[in-house]
Structure 1
Amino acid sequence: MMSYLAAALQMTSTPDLEKNLVQAEELIELAVRQGAELIGLPENFAFLGREEEKLAQAETIALKAEKFLKTMAQRFQVTILGGGFPVPVENNPNKAYNTALLVDPSGIEVSRYEKVHLFDVNVPDGNTYRESSTVMAGNALPPIYSSDKLGKIGLSICYDVRFPELYRHLSLKGAEILFIPAAFTAFTGKDHWKALLQARAIENTCYVIAPAQTGNHYERRYSHGHATIVDPWGVILADAGEKPGIAIAEISPIRLEQVRRQMPSLQHRVFA
């Protein structure tokens, strides 16, 4: 593994699938022009609208999103994470999996994860979220994708960030980079987003790459933004702010080794 640039993309996705994919392509191209070799798209990059509308279009969204990811990876010769899109559940028309897909430069799927922690929360700003009303929770821990070029990458999605045991599993399986693509609500994000990302990086001595949604998507649905890349010491290397754009930073194996040598906390664990 050599040093390389990674990019966390920040979007304002809407219920318009085609416009979302155009926005995503523009940001991917921008990241590639800046030298990124590993690129992450946020949760709900292909569609962010009402749950019932998402479910009604889930098959179309899934097909177009997957084709898009493979086409972009191949065209630009980069590895791309699609941070979350609905994939219909077989024999259950009322549910879809919230699925993250990692695709290599040849356009081949190398890792897939179905979100296990679903966002069923009454947020103090008055919004109520019931992800489980249309999403089937995954039943498997996230996989690790090992690349000689990019390192060992673990996947997760948004609300997972509040469950440190998931990331401990990934780090103990050898993860060096943790993907946390999100559509974090504006209300919770202002207090929790940065702190949670830094905590997951510090406690696992891993890089964190967190693509994000930002702004107003439809009606009263607002996301926090601040797509972020954090180093293993917890230092924020890049923050995309509040507008659509990219956060880009170097992933350095030398830095990773240095931090793990200076703070060997993973070796000092007492409890499994």
Structure 2
Amino acid sequence: MTFKAAAIQMCSGVDPQKNAADMVRLVREAAAHGATYIQTPEMTGALQRDRKAMRDILRDETNDIIVSTARNLAGELGIHLHIGSTAIARDDGKIANRALLFAPGGRLVATYDKIHMFDVDLDNGESWRESSAYEPGVAARVADLPFGRLGFAICYDVRFPQLFRAEALVGAEILTVPAAFTRQTGEAHWEILLRARAIENGAFVIAAAQAGVHEDGRETFGHSMIVDPWGKVLASAGGTGEAVVLAEIDIDAVKAARVKIPNLRNAREFALDTVSDVAGGVAA
């Protein structure tokens, strides 16, 4: 089974309507090049550091402009459109960092709320407390699609290999990592982490990213990319500005990789013992 995938690189600002228009333009470009699965980055709808301003533009899933635009676009173009994520108002008053996948008819196939929250103080003085604004998800998710089984993740999730392994063990052949990686952490780890998740699970990884300096002052790393099950980067973008990253995906390559490196089926349960050489310690 072969299909063309696209990762859309954006530089989302603070206005959801403008971001929706940019998304439409880029998705149309990807579809015009034959892409039938198209993924947008994390926080497609808006990157807004001001919490009050973010609350002011927040909508529930029914009334969100990115959701409605994506639904209509998927129906019109006959594609699977994966909104990497956007901020959604929950019924309990909290905010979800939510991915949404729409089928060619515009039907909502699946949603996924980001599980792992990026709470960190960086050595360049930046401080991020994602958990102070967003409610973490509690469930991993995979979706059976006509071209393969797809597993969800968002940005910081990429640092938790157990999530991807759980998805691969139930048959996920395509792992997704839409992101808004900071420039500093992206330079150090982005490509390494994506290739590692592909190699260790024998799966394709598709990662649409935010890129450049945003209206709210943050800077994101970009370098959206598509990686094959052997860890080869099939296509990638630069570190600034918009881009449409395209690659042909041969889903049979997943089976081939997992036959050559059968680590998913060779994995074994094991006990974990600790020993101590501290004074007075006794081997356990």
Instruction: Give the structure 2 partner of residue 65 of structure 1.
Output: 66
Q: Select between 114-123 and 229-238 the one with higher mean Cα deviation.
A: 114-123
Matched-pair contact (CA < 8 Å) for 1:55–1:134: no
Instruction: Give the structure 1 partner of residue 55 of structure 2.
Output: 55
Matched-pair contact (CA < 8 Å) for 2:225–2:236: yes
Q: Does 1:90 align with 2:87?
A: no
The amino acid of 2:232's aligned partner reads V
Aligned equivalent of 1:214, options 186, 211, 214: 211
Aligned equivalent of 2:253, options 247, 252, 255: 255
Matched-pair contact (CA < 8 Å) for 1:89–1:136: no
Q: Looking at secondary structure, tell me which structure has more strand per residue.
A: 1
Distance 1:135 1:55 in 2: 11
> Offset of 1:259 from its aligned partner?
1.2
Instruction: Give the structure 2 partner of residue 144 of structure 1.
Output: 142
Distance 1:154 1:185 in 2: 23
Distance 1:74 1:89 in 2: 25
Instruction: Give the structure 1 partner of residue 279 of structure 2.
Output: none
Instruction: Give the structure 1 partner of residue 267 of structure 2.
Output: 269
> Normalising by structure 1, what TM-score?
0.95
**DSSP 3-state at the match of 1:218:** coil
The amino acid of 2:2's aligned partner reads S
> Offset of 1:119 from its aligned partner?
0.9
> Offset of 1:250 from its aligned partner?
1.1
The amino acid of 2:206's aligned partner reads I
Distance 1:256 1:91 in 2: 40
The amino acid of 1:143's aligned partner reads R
Q: Does 1:126 align with 2:125?
A: yes
> Offset of 1:78 from its aligned partner?
0.3
> Offset of 1:106 from its aligned partner?
0.6
Distance 2:2 2:210 in 1: 27
The amino acid of 1:63's aligned partner reads D
Q: Does 1:236 align with 2:233?
A: yes
What is the aligned-residue identity percentage?
A: 39
Instruction: Give the structure 2 partner of residue 81 of structure 1.
Output: 82
Distance 1:157 1:177 in 2: 14
> Offset of 1:133 from its aligned partner?
1.3
> Offset of 1:150 from its aligned partner?
1.6
Instruction: Give the structure 1 partner of residue 277 of structure 2.
Output: none
Distance 2:58 2:174 in 1: 29
The amino acid of 2:248's aligned partner reads E
> Offset of 1:51 from its aligned partner?
4.5
RMSD between aligned residues? 1.4
Distance 1:88 1:133 in 2: 14
Instruction: List structure 1 segments (4+ residues) > 6 angstroms apart after TM superposition.
Output: none
Higher Cα Rg, which structure? 2
Distance 1:151 1:56 in 2: 38
Structure 1: runs of 5 or more not aligned: none
Instruction: Give the structure 1 partner of residue 2 of structure 2.
Output: 3
> Offset of 1:84 from its aligned partner?
0.9
Deviation readout 1:86-109 (Å, 9 max, x if unpaired): 1112232xx201000011001011
Distance 1:125 1:28 in 2: 35
Distance 2:265 2:78 in 1: 36
Structure 2: runs of 5 or more not aligned: 271-284
**DSSP 3-state at the match of 2:188:** helix
> Offset of 1:60 from its aligned partner?
6.5
Q: Select between 83-92 and 66-75 the one with higher mean Cα deviation.
A: 83-92
Q: Does 1:196 align with 2:175?
A: no
Matched-pair contact (CA < 8 Å) for 1:153–1:176: yes
Deviation readout 1:7-36 (Å, 9 max, x if unpaired): 011000000111111111111011011110
Q: Select between 30-39 and 253-262 the one with higher mean Cα deviation.
A: 253-262
Matched-pair contact (CA < 8 Å) for 1:44–1:83: yes
